Structures are given as C-alpha cells and as structure tokens.
Amino acid sequence: MKPFEQRGSAVLKRLPVNAVAAEIGVLRGMMSEYLLRNHPTLKLFMVDSWQTAENQPEHYRATGDVHANHTDPARVASHRREAEGRAKNFPGRAIIMPVLSADAAQTIEDGSLDLVFIDADHSYEGVKADLAAWVPKVKAGGWIGGHDYRNPAPEFDFSGVDRAVNEWASAWGVVVETDLNFTWFARI
C-alpha cells in the first residue's frame, strides 16, 4: 500500500455515508482521488495554495518540508494541474479551492463537515492556525486529523505538528488516535 493509500484508508474508516470533508494540503491530489474513488458519496473540498517557497511562511520553510521549499513555479503549477485533473473525474464531488487554508475555512459553514484532514503547513504555527480555522467547521461527532504526527524522519522537523496537536487536544479534552503513515485523528 502506497503512503497516500495508507493515509486515505485511515480517513475512509472515519467517514460516514454521504460525507462532506476537507483535505487541507492536496499537492497533486493523489489522496483526494483515492478518497473519492473509494467513497462514492463523498463530497471533498480540496484546499491548497500551491505556492512557491518565496510565498511560504518562514516558519514552514524552516521545517525542511520539500513542499514548502519548491522554488520552481513550473513544478508547483504542475502539481496544481495534476490535482485539478484528478478532481475533474468527480464533478460535483471534488471542489478545488486554490487559496490559503484560512481563506478557504472562512467560506465553509461552521459544523458542516464530517472530517477535516490537515496536511499543509507542518510548522507549529501553521498547524495551530489550521486547527483554529478548521475545528469549528467540523460537526459534533465528526473528526479532525492530519499527517506527520510523531514522524521521526530526520530530514524534516515536524515536531511542531506534535506540539500543536497535543496542545489543542489537551485544551479540548479530546483523545488523539494514531493510524497508518503518521496520521492522527480526534473526534470532536
């Protein structure tokens, strides 16, 4: 099973029938496509800013995440085109949102999503901001989760993910569950 399939399978088992979800940080749309193919009634908001390094926050670039440090605009544009191409296979169910995470969240009704999966800015500041923006969008009993929790990869510093998630979970009094490929989830 490929990493995006591992993440996708962790998401799928938490989605109800006729789910509405948001994936924050889509890149090439591979997990989005996996979710939409394997959940025939899913409506998915695909959120990504598709920005080059000079437009990424310094705290995100400092994590070493390759996606925060792309300097070639053609490569970033290619990633966006791939995601858009995948979304076209699911008209009315895949909604591409090529904007910053916080801007996308402002357009989504509070309490309307069954699940939000955060896999964008992997810095402490970025994850903290994404949690603040997206937790209100999840309906009672729904899920918030993300990627790269407790990821020990030495080439990246994803410790901010752990710190932001743990602080948020403690403040909200929720239990963090882990799953395949460094995913985490908490029921709201």
Domain architecture of the chain: domains with CATH: 3-187 (3.40.50.150)
Pairing of strands 94-97, 113-118: unpaired
With cut-offs at 50, 70 and 90, classify the pLDDT of residue 58.
confident
Listed range (11-25, 42-56, 88-102) with the worst mean pLDDT:
42-56
DSSP 41-68: T-EEEEE-----GGGS-HHHHTTT-GGG
Q: What CA–CA distance (Å, rounded) separates 42 from 45?
A: 10
Site of tokens 């509070």: 110
pLDDT tens profile 146-183 = 999 999 888 888 899 999 999 999 999 999 999 999 99
With cut-offs at 50, 70 and 90, classify the pLDDT of residue 53.
confident
* Whole-number percent of the chain with pLDDT over 70: 99
* pLDDT greater than 80 at residue 52: no
* pLDDT greater than 80 at residue 22: yes
Q: What CA–CA distance (Å, rounded) separates 74 from 10?
A: 32
Q: What CA–CA distance (Å, rounded) separates 91 from 76?
A: 23
Mean pLDDT of 21-26: 98
Q: What is the pTM of this model?
A: 0.95
Residue 148's CB is within 10 A of a number of other CB atoms, namely 23
With cut-offs at 50, 70 and 90, classify the pLDDT of residue 95.
very high
DSSP 125-149: HHHHHHHHHHGGGEEEEEEEEES-T
Looking at residue 153, what is its pLDDT?
A: 85
Q: The tokens of 76 are what?
A: 């970033």
Q: What is the mean pLDDT of the chain?
A: 94
* 20-24, strands of its sheet edge to edge: 94-97, 43-47, 20-24, 113-118, 138-146, 183-187, 177-179
Listed range (57-61, 92-96, 135-139) with the worst mean pLDDT:
57-61
Q: What CA–CA distance (Å, rounded) separates 162 from 147?
A: 10
* pLDDT greater than 90 at residue 54: no
Q: What CA–CA distance (Å, rounded) separates 9 from 184?
A: 12
